[in-house]
Amino acid sequence: MKKPRATEQSLQWQWQNNRPAFLTWAVLRLLVLLVLIRSAINGLWENVFICLLVLALFLLPSLISRRLKITFPTGLQIVILIHIFACEILGELESYYVRYPHWDTVTHTVWGFLCAAIGYGLVDILNRESSAHFHLSPAFLALAAFCFSMTVGVLWEFFEFAADRLLLLDMQKDTVISQFSSVMLDPTNSNIPIRVADITDVAVNGESLGLGGYLDVGLYDTMEDLFVNMIGGLVFAVIGFFRSRSQQAERIAVSFIPRPGKQPNRGEANQGEAKLSVANQAEL
DSSP conformational letter for 185? G
* pLDDT tens readout for residues 96-140: 999 998 999 999 999 999 999 999 998 888 877 766 656 788 999
d(CA 44, CA 125): 44
Interval 6-27: pLDDT, tens: 556 666 666 666 788 889 999 9
Report CA-CA distances (Å) from 153 to 191, 198, 231.
32, 33, 12
3-state secondary structure of 248: helix
Contact predicate 110/102, CB 8 Å: no
Q: pLDDT tens, 259-268?
A: 886 554 444 4
- The pLDDT of residue 10: 61
Most confident of the ranges 151-160, 240-249, 259-268: 151-160
